[in-house]
Structure 1
């Protein structure tokens, strides 16, 4: 049994430093690197790609809406055609930096509002999948488990990895409970870690209403914006390995 650990990185820009990217790269297997629209800048992208390559971490593009002020978390009324072009544009940026570093892109994971909207909207999901395929049909689309993005990726013939979250709760339909809703975030690692292990080994998770739902976990999204968060990721790794799970980049098994 194998699973990937991914994290959103390269979110610093200009004079602003966000996250602890170098430390995070020591505990994950795939990096989703901001492409400059919702966060990141050319210098940060170059440095993050280089660090990921040195650590043997799979390199992914993390395209989002053009919303630097809102960190890409505000819904935008863009057409599917516009979303497709924004995805192509941002993958192109990351692919260029990867090539410059002698590396290849492994995957694409949409960010924030784009990710959440496409999880429920098949038209947007299809636009993202078509954008990814048009750039490189060998790329893996990293998508919310059981979402419309998974369906769209399969419909266009892309490889798809289904993603779960270590610190988020789920609705009964498999969607994430919206940020800001009571109970949306899991802060107690004594609750979070057994949930993660169960999602990977049993394919099940308890929804916010108490109902057990089926879920596929190819990759676990983790965060590393402070030392405590990085320690949490290490504990997740240890618990998974103790359960007989191998931690590997997506390209090894998707």
Structure 2
């Protein structure tokens, strides 16, 4: 009997406070490490929680911009941005070492994530910033993105990510959060969105186009208002479509 497995990840440690409910329903997480959200206390708490639920731990660096939650492109010099990413990862890695938890992946957040998908200069800077972890961890990146291409060319290990609670444009970019159609909040609609991604390797865009995609992990944002409802629904419904959570 044919079946599929998929990693489901969540952005956590961002001050929402729903991590205890989300952790049993996901297989990997991306923990804010001080750039757009989070501090030492929240990082320690979230790392311990993830470890207790056998959830793979990832770092979630961002533009150092808590005011805008890292969701606006920040005017910052390349050297300042690079140092900020290095510092965020260093603090997070120190916590992991103290807690004896392994770093599984690194995933950029928000505006930085979106810029890396299309800006080769920024992508190279980011890869330089995370290069210390090159041989130990995966990078969560969008399929057919600039960051994915350059990372693979330089020997980084990548996992292709898609978003279960976000609509796509025909070029595989995410529909802007400025638009009402950006988020998918109804659990049933999220399931309809995810199934062709996992089973047929295609995403149905907002315009109804079917675009080929390769996916290793699917994100449900921890700050999506219905995140818990979505994940609870997926946990009960995905198995009936022969899709299992990859623990």
Q: TM-score, normalised by structure 1?
A: 0.89
Deviation at 1:244, TM superposition (A): 2.2
The whole-number CA distance in structure 1 between the counterparts of 2:225 and 2:203 is 27
Candidates 172, 175, 178, aligned match of 1:174: 172
The whole-number CA distance in structure 2 between the counterparts of 1:47 and 1:166 is 26
The whole-number CA distance in structure 2 between the counterparts of 1:224 and 1:134 is 28
Which stretch shifts more, 174-183 or 184-193?
Answer: 184-193
The answer (yes or no) to whether the contact 2:19–2:46 under 8 Å persists in 1 is: yes
The whole-number CA distance in structure 2 between the counterparts of 1:223 and 1:114 is 16
Alignment of 1:89-104 (within 5 A): 89-104=87-102
Alignment of 1:177-196 (within 5 A): 177-196=175-194
Alignment root-mean-square deviation, CA: 1.8
Does 2:108 correspond to 1:110? yes
Does 2:147 correspond to 1:149? yes
The whole-number CA distance in structure 1 between the counterparts of 2:239 and 2:152 is 30
The count of corresponding residues between Structure 1 and Structure 2 is 244
The whole-number CA distance in structure 2 between the counterparts of 1:172 and 1:215 is 11
Deviation at 1:227, TM superposition (A): 8.4
What 5-or-longer segments of structure 1 have no aligned partner?
A: 13-17, 250-254
What 5-or-longer segments of structure 2 have no aligned partner?
A: none
Does 2:32 correspond to 1:34? yes
Alignment of 1:1-254 (within 5 A): 1-12=4-15, 18-225=16-223, 228-249=226-247
Deviation at 1:80, TM superposition (A): 4.2
The whole-number CA distance in structure 1 between the counterparts of 2:32 and 2:187 is 27
Deviation at 1:70, TM superposition (A): 1.0
The whole-number CA distance in structure 2 between the counterparts of 1:74 and 1:82 is 16
